[in-house]
Structure 1
Amino acid sequence: MPVSVTMPRLGESVTEGTVTRWLKQEGDTVEVDEPLLEVSTDKVDTEIPSPAAGVLSRIVVGEDETAEVGSELAVIAGEGESTGGEAAPQKQEAPVEPAAEPTAAAEGTADQVAQEEAPAEAPAPAAAPSGEGTAVKMPALGESVTEGTVTRWLKQVGETIEVDEPLLEVSTDKVDTEIPSPVAGTVLEIKVAEDETAAVGADLAIIGVAGAAPAPAKPEPKPEAKPAPKAEPTPKAEEPTPGMSYNEPAAETESSTQPVKTEQASQPAAAAPTPPRPSAPAQGGGEEAAGYVTPLVRKLAAEHGVNLSTLNGTGVGGRIRKQDVLEAAEQAKAAAAAPAAPQQAAAPSPAPAKPAAKPQPSGKRGTTEKLPRIRKAIAKRMHESLHEMAQLTTVVEVDVTRIAKLRAQAKDSFVQRHGVKLSFLPFFALAAIEALQTYPIVNAQLDLDGGTITYPAAEHLGIAVDTERGLVVPVIHNAGDLNLGGIAKRVADLAERTRTNKISPDELAGATFTLTNTGSRGALFDTPIVPTPQSAMLGTGAVVKRPVVVNDPDLGEVVAVRSMVYLAMSYDHRLIDGADAARFLSAVKERLEAGNFEPELGLA
């Protein structure tokens, strides 16, 4: 019996999600709890497992499309049931056959006329179904995203495209991404040009019916055998056009297909050879290697024996695309076929590898590039946060020598008992939580318009985590109920799941106070920007050993080597006075310098 896969509720405040990637395609078998697709919300990206075993018979929501919580995403049927996807191609092939028959009946004077008429009739089914073609729409790439800008078309009018093959690149104020084709077919129309902006849901292009792609593929052998001189000059004429490129070298891949708009309209048979062509300019590559690779690209790389780490991607942000892998595979075949080529090919292969490391730090020197929309959004939010609050930073210096000695004594037993390493961060967190309970004004929230101050009933501690996607802040809810070991385990667990993109949306919301470990990268201290609606944020600097004047009971003031750290707290001066901030930091300082954590570590 068919089982419906629905959009789960990925958080209390989450009402919808965007399908970012299907890990299975129609007709694939899937097991229970096997990852089926990836879903992105405004708070988290996660995998959705299959609720049942069977065959993925139908995908209802395509990639980059948004669906509400509870709506149907796909249907999983038993292996014996029909996928239901074969009826469409039969309907599409029906008009193609009658279109060829009347032509043969009316123009039966000569074989040459029939051959010339056949390609002329081929565009008719592709153009006629423009009303029946599939519209590629601007997807919702975030809850607050209302529009996107087309940065580059990866396919041009008249070119064929496969399901899930990248069609264009889109930029929003939060993300730059590739939009895959929802169906296989031919690009009939491009409605939004490059560098133009379209609202979410607007039509970007029209893809011809899936049956239009195989139709021209069948006549290919005939034109190649007889009118070979006609088919070959067209690709040769297109090759010089990469000179019409964009500012980026990788853009030559797409610019080389622009003149095909007029030529392929009259000779659709030439559309089939076009997909391999973009691989030739890919030698220019992107400047940076992509960190994320789609399953399709990984599969192609495995099939052709291509090492992805040696490629320079031409996609958004240097992402490795299908064309890059195919181009690398063709180069490898050419090198293996030529007897003298291996020596020449072996020399260039290390050559790009050496410059590949250098362009990353130095390739942008002396250049100007367009501000990414995501960086523009971050700048806007930081600016608003600074101007919405009257932010002030207070810094204290703390001697954590006793804590350093306790860590050395208890580190082995702590790992055995709790399963995580003991760092300085849990000590800072516990001291801050205890100080928040004593001085709740630092944990409060100000509503100036409503004229209220809200004191939360618990301490929900946000921990800033550095990830490949940027800074993410998971939250330890009810942190005041945890001891040192509990905080250490929660910090390690949240940090690991945040970096592996397995954090839930509810764990990223609700912080009342945030702790950021700026010292993890060697910084002595900084001035954190307080995220609204919180009122304060504590930054911990690097723990360093240096000579300090200490007051010894027997020797008086002496100079000794101590482990020192700076604690910098930024706060909303509209709500928190400087004296309140000083009292809070003094409480944290006294708790840390006292070093009375033996009971927490099992050393008492």
Structure 2
Amino acid sequence: MSTSVVLPALGESVTEGTVTRWLKKVGDTVQEDEGLLEISTDKVDTEIPSPVSGVIEEILVQEDETVEVGAVLAKIGDGSGASDAAPAPEQASSDSSDQEQAAAEETPEAAPTPEPAAAAPAVAKPTAAEPAPASGSTGTDVVLPELGESVTEGTVTRWLKQVGDRVAVDEPLLEISTDKVDTEIPSPIAGIVQEILVKEDETVAVGSALARVGDAAATTSPAEVAPEAPSTEKPVEADQPVAAPAPQAAPAPAPASPAPAPATTASAPAAASTPAPAPAPAAASADGDDVTYVTPLVRRLAQQQGVDLAAIKGSGVGGRIRKEDVLKAAEAARTAPATPAAQTAPAAATRQISELRGTTQPMSRLRKVLAERAVASMQQTAQLTTVVEVDVTRLAALRDRSKGDFLAKTGDKLSFLPFFALAAAEALQSYPIVNATVDGTDIVYPATENVSIAVDTERGLLTPVLRDAATKNIAQIAHEIADLAARTRDNKLKPDELAGGTFTLTNTGSRGALFDTPVVFLPQSAILGTGTVVKRPGVVSVDGKDAIAVRSYVFLALSYDHRIIDGADAARFLGAIKARLEDASFEGDLGI
């Protein structure tokens, strides 16, 4: 029975697509989720994966032909409806390779001494046949999964495993970078990495095969076991068993399996010595996994803090080293030498010299995307910034009174940011033009206030979205901001959590800045920058007379697209936020 491959829905406004290239032809065998063809629409170019495993029986749409969503592109079945010419050579080659393999196994037993020359061809044939199991049905393709609605491709930044390495289910294989998020791709099955199909720094489309993982096939044996056999044999006997190590390479990684046992009976001393050292390299590589499987953020943080990852015991799942483990190790290293050398060189201990001095580094994919979007935003919009100063003395007093109970009841620290976010979201409800977007000659007013929170990470600036911010209280906003920021820095954020923002809030005051002029990123029309809260003398009214008192102030800077937002709109919006913060009547909104 055949299965139809149809053109799926690729977006709300996408109604048709054009076949740009077929990646498979009639008679080819495909795996489930393996790329079949490339489709181009007015919004995106992407690959269409196979919904099932089988043989392509018929291609119904030719290249450069445009079809509607839902149209049948091809049919996949068990091969009965397609030409038998394609599967036949595959079967013949597998049969012949089985016969050659059997002959190779019998050759050392039948005539181990009289025909050393005949053994050499026997070695060459199994070696040439090795790639067949790796590329056949014995392995499972690891494909680039969907990482969000708008993510169509990813770049391989680093392979965590190499060909021949053993992996467990859900164990990370590689690191992928997209324009939304950097993440690790886990192995779907347990087995041996048979083949790596995509190199580092190479960009591939969603659904593309990245690697192939299968059972303990003879993928790593020639590299790992062949050097072992000559080292355990005497030099005089090395000429004769040359043919034997290659066929015996397959059972070496799994000495407990019953199948390879008869093939090793001809050289019992060698077989007995070869499996013994084999587990040692595997154990060594497993011990090194805790250091290998760290995210780029953790690795870079360890370099900056001068922490040796090999000396850290991870607290994450499976012993994974997390950011907190590195920070604890760095703090322990700073406090430990403080006792013997009290104040020997305080200046040298606090200053860190970057390893990037005097080097040239390529831009990361995220940095390239940020650069392109920043330039596009400045070229396509008319940006202007308006700044106001807000007296947050009452708000600071409320925060000081409430932060103890807030932490005890919610588990989150109470900062100024949740108050700023709630005040901004409420002001957006009153002045929706600041929350609007431009669509050609139309102005679109969203029905919700989805506030993007700018988060500074080692990879660059990311903006996870706090959805429906105006409907939440301070406790909910504080918890969601803390959760989003932590998962963003730990590379655990889902791509969809970065989409859908209508307005952005950036807290540059967290690093001590008074204010800045932030850049609006399309399609949004405004971004609010909050400065640091500082205490300084201010003029207040006491009994109708002016007096000098210590007050807490903060600058709020609103950058906006002057095409649809006027200066008066910005001033009214900032005035609403200023009034809400200076009034500081948030007791009923704390949520505790």
Task: Give the TM-score of the pair, scaled to structure 2.
Answer: 0.55
Query: 1:358 and 1:545 mapped to 2: Cα distance?
Result: 26
Question: How big is the shift at 1:223?
Answer: 4.1
Match of 2:562 in 1: 573
Query: 2:503 and 2:491 mapped to 1: Cα distance?
Result: 23
Match of 2:56 in 1: none
Aligned mate of 2:553, from 547, 564, 582:
564
The answer to whether the 8 A contact 2:377-2:522 is kept is yes
Aligned mate of 2:578, from 585, 589, 597:
589
The answer to whether the 8 A contact 1:185-1:212 is kept is no
The residue correspondences of 1:437-476 to structure 2 (distance < 5 A) are 437-447=429-439, 449=440, 451-466=441-456, 470-476=460-466
Query: 1:289 and 1:497 mapped to 2: Cα distance?
Result: 13
Question: How big is the shift at 1:389?
Answer: 1.8
- Determine helix, strand or coil for the equivalent of 1:586: helix
Question: How big is the shift at 1:212?
Answer: 2.1
**Range that drifts further, 475-484 or 371-380:** 475-484
The residue correspondences of 1:232-243 to structure 2 (distance < 5 A) are none
- The change in CA–CA distance for 1:221 and 1:99 in structure 2 (over 3 A counts) is farther
User: C-alpha offsets along residues 474-503 of structure 1, whole Å, 9 cap, x if unaligned?
Assistant: 444333334555544554555566566666
The residue correspondences of 1:511-590 to structure 2 (distance < 5 A) are 511-556=501-546, 558-590=547-579
User: C-alpha offsets along residues 536-561 of structure 1, whole Å, 9 cap, x if unaligned?
Assistant: 221111101112233444432x3322
The answer to whether the 8 A contact 1:137-1:204 is kept is yes
Match of 1:405 in 2: 397
The answer to whether the 8 A contact 2:373-2:521 is kept is no
Aligned mate of 1:139, from 140, 144, 147:
144
For 2:568, give the aligned amino acid.
A
Aligned mate of 1:376, from 368, 371, 375:
368
User: C-alpha offsets along residues 511-562 of structure 1, whole Å, 9 cap, x if unaligned?
Assistant: 3323222212222112222233322221111101112233444432x33221
The residue correspondences of 1:68-467 to structure 2 (distance < 5 A) are 95=99, 97-100=101-104, 103=107, 110=114, 112-113=116-117, 116-127=120-131, 132=136, 139=144, 142=147, 160-163=164-167, 210-213=216-219, 223-226=230-233, 228=235, 291=297, 308-310=309-311, 361-415=353-407, 420-447=412-439, 449=440, 451-466=441-456
Question: How big is the shift at 1:440?
Answer: 2.4
Question: How big is the shift at 1:564?
Answer: 0.8
For 1:120, give the aligned amino acid.
A
Question: How big is the shift at 1:397?
Answer: 0.8
For 1:524, give the aligned amino acid.
L
Question: How big is the shift at 1:438?
Answer: 2.8
Q: Percent of aligned positions with the same letter in both sequences?
A: 52
User: C-alpha offsets along residues 6-25 of structure 1, whole Å, 9 cap, x if unaligned?
Assistant: xxxxxx99xxxxxxxxxxxx
The answer to whether the 8 A contact 2:134-2:194 is kept is no
The answer to whether the 8 A contact 1:537-1:571 is kept is yes
For 1:391, give the aligned amino acid.
Q
Query: 1:588 and 1:97 mapped to 2: Cα distance?
Result: 78
For 2:444, give the aligned amino acid.
T
User: Where do 5+ consecutive residues of structure 1 fail to align?
Assistant: 1-11, 14-58, 74-89, 233-271, 294-306, 312-318, 321-356
Question: How big is the shift at 1:431?
Answer: 2.6
Match of 1:252 in 2: none
The answer to whether the 8 A contact 2:146-2:207 is kept is no
- Give the number of aligned pairs: 423
The answer to whether the 8 A contact 2:297-2:459 is kept is no
Q: CA RMSD in A?
A: 5.5
Question: How big is the shift at 1:374?
Answer: 2.5
User: C-alpha offsets along residues 385-417 of structure 1, whole Å, 9 cap, x if unaligned?
Assistant: 222221111111111112112223333444566
Match of 2:469 in 1: 479
- The change in CA–CA distance for 1:117 and 1:179 in structure 2 (over 3 A counts) is farther
Question: How big is the shift at 1:569?
Answer: 0.7
For 2:217, give the aligned amino acid.
G
Query: 2:160 and 2:480 mapped to 1: Cα distance?
Result: 44
- Determine helix, strand or coil for the equivalent of 1:364: coil
- The change in CA–CA distance for 1:384 and 1:227 in structure 2 (over 3 A counts) is farther
The answer to whether the 8 A contact 2:183-2:492 is kept is no
Query: 1:416 and 1:185 mapped to 2: Cα distance?
Result: 49
For 2:218, give the aligned amino acid.
A
For 2:438, give the aligned amino acid.
L
Query: 1:152 and 1:414 mapped to 2: Cα distance?
Result: 42
User: Where do 5+ consecutive residues of structure 2 fail to align?
Assistant: 1-10, 13-30, 35-45, 54-93, 240-277, 300-307, 313-319, 322-348
The answer to whether the 8 A contact 2:528-2:559 is kept is yes
